[in-house]
Amino acid sequence: MWQEKIETMPREELEALQSERLMNQVKRMYERVPLFKERMDEKGLTPDDIRGIEDLHKLPFSYKQDLRDYYPYGLFAEPLSNISRVHASSGTTGKKIVVGYTKKDLDDWSDCVARMMHAIGLDNNDFIQVSYGYGLFTGGLGAHGGAERIGATVIPTSSGNTSNQLQTMVDFGSTCLCCTPSYALYLGEAAEEAGLTDKLQLKAGIFGAEPWSEDMRHEIEKKLHLKAYDIYGLSEIMGPGVSYECEYQAGMHVCEDMFIPEIIDPDTLEVLPAGEKGELVFTTITKEGFPLIRYRTRDICSLNYEKCKCGRTHVRMNKPQGRTDDMLIIRGVNVFPSQIEEVLLKVSGDITPNYQIIVDRVNNTDTFDINVEMSEHLFSDDIKSIEKTEKLIKEKLRDVLGISAGVHLVNPKSITRSEGKAKRVIDKRKI
């Protein structure tokens, strides 16, 4: 194990470590981050009121809006001379957010990613192709840091230029691919078309940055002949590696010596018991440059504290199902794009996993349509078979969602492919 002592630390010891780190972090931030002090003062709290993780729930929440309001450096807890790197995320709406890392933060980050790479059997003999975008997005440099930390050979292709990616993969003998699941699928498709699939030497894929279903995992594994692992993270907390799947792929271990997760009810703000689904909240307890207390991620998932077969004691989070702000309300019904993906991927054979959801409002009523690419073989079939498949998908969707959607099978390759995070939803009501 990469950092065995930390990764398998008995929970009692781990919680004692978290308590100590939390108390230090709260003190530090109270002195250095004016917004945090203001929020503590509003609640009548001082750092002395926080005596361990049992007091975590007393602390004030922080929000993405805070990062926008204090853009660019207003929430940093170190002088800028100690900041080694910044990353930023633009999100889909609104102003950019900026985060900063000290040298130690970058080291810790590389450790998080290295823990995962080691867990899934990668080492200095591997060639790790990083096809996440490099730049202000944390994916590229985050994966890069972990790959270097385990001593592997990094192939820093960044995203895009798909045919070149594939040729590099073949020529350089890449054994691991890091990119978004939607780009992995696209690469798989392109490899098939170019007749390169059999020349690939990939054994593992490290995919994250967007929600993806188990069926999507199988689809990618089938296309690229590798084992696909999930990695989770967000710029505000660190980047990729906040949590990751181990060799057993039974949830993602949170690097709990650095980040404390909680699940809350987003409406009542109550902390929910283990196993219950709600909004994921993180507190960073080791970060120097840009620490956050009780950051509301908007991601929806649950936590599992049972010991994993791998021996790691760090809690596992399940695959985030989506975000509270991704949830569509269509004709009064809550719909997550991930529910649609699950239905579509179960209708194998006749369709491909490429789809787009289009929501609009006509005469004060929501319209809800899904375009799904049909497979080549259905494309060459008769119109009756196409209509039959559309009807089948429509029925399955109505069973799962409780409302009906217009389902339209569109021609193969007609939906734009993504080289990063896929844009699955076009909500014209917001335009």
Binding residues for ligand DLL (CB under 6 A): 89, 132, 138-139, 142, 208-211, 230-235, 239-240, 297, 299, 319-320, 323
Of all residues in the shown chain, the one whose CB is closest to ligand DLL is 208
In terms of Cα–Cα distance, which of 402, 369, 314 is closest to 18?
Answer: 314
253-322-54 Cα angle (round to 5):
50
Query: Using CB atoms within 10 A of its CB, is residue 186 exposed (0-12), middle (13-18) or buried (19+)?
Result: buried
DSSP three-state, residue 250 = coil
Q: Classify strands 322-323 and 328-330 as parallel, antiparallel or unpaired.
A: unpaired
For 24, 104, 153, the CA distances from 199, given in Å and listed in that order, are 52, 40, 19
- Shortest Å, Cβ 181 to ligand DLL: 8
- Shortest Å, Cβ 64 to ligand DLL: 9
- Shortest Å, Cβ 110 to ligand DLL: 14
Question: Quick one: how far is CA 313 from the chain centroid?
Answer: 21
Q: Classify strands 85-89 and 97-101 as parallel, antiparallel or unpaired.
A: antiparallel
Q: 9 or 144: whose CB is closer to ligand DLL?
A: 144
Distance CA 80, CA 253 (A): 32
- Shortest Å, Cβ 222 to ligand DLL: 20
Distance CA 146, CA 138 (A): 12
- Shortest Å, Cβ 115 to ligand DLL: 14
Q: Residues 270-274: contacts with CB within 8 Å, 24+ apart? A: 271/57, 274/302, 274/303, 274/304, 274/305
- Token pair 């809006």 is found at 65
Q: 29 or 300: whose CB is closer to ligand DLL?
A: 300
In terms of Cα–Cα distance, which of 194, 208, 202, 246 is closest to 221?
Answer: 202
The sign one gets for the Cα dihedral 105, 109, 110, 115 is positive
- Shortest Å, Cβ 90 to ligand DLL: 9
Q: 84 or 89: whose CB is closer to ligand DLL?
A: 89
- Shortest Å, Cβ 233 to ligand DLL: 4
In terms of Cα–Cα distance, which of 351, 355, 353 is closest to 369?
Answer: 355
- Shortest Å, Cβ 205 to ligand DLL: 11
- Shortest Å, Cβ 204 to ligand DLL: 14
Q: 9 or 263: whose CB is closer to ligand DLL?
A: 263
Q: 175 or 297: whose CB is closer to ligand DLL?
A: 297
Distance CA 139, CA 142 (A): 5
Q: 159 or 356: whose CB is closer to ligand DLL?
A: 159
Centre a 10 Å sphere on the Cβ of residue 295 and count the other Cβ atoms it contains: 22
Q: 46 or 92: whose CB is closer to ligand DLL?
A: 92
Q: 7 or 236: whose CB is closer to ligand DLL?
A: 236
Q: 67 or 393: whose CB is closer to ligand DLL?
A: 67
- Shortest Å, Cβ 280 to ligand DLL: 8
In the sheet where 259-264 sits, what is the strand order? 259-264, 278-284, 295-301, 322-323
- Shortest Å, Cβ 142 to ligand DLL: 6
For 51, 190, 219, 390, 409, the CA distances from 375, given in Å and listed in that order, are 59, 15, 14, 13, 9
H or E element that contains 410: strand 406-410
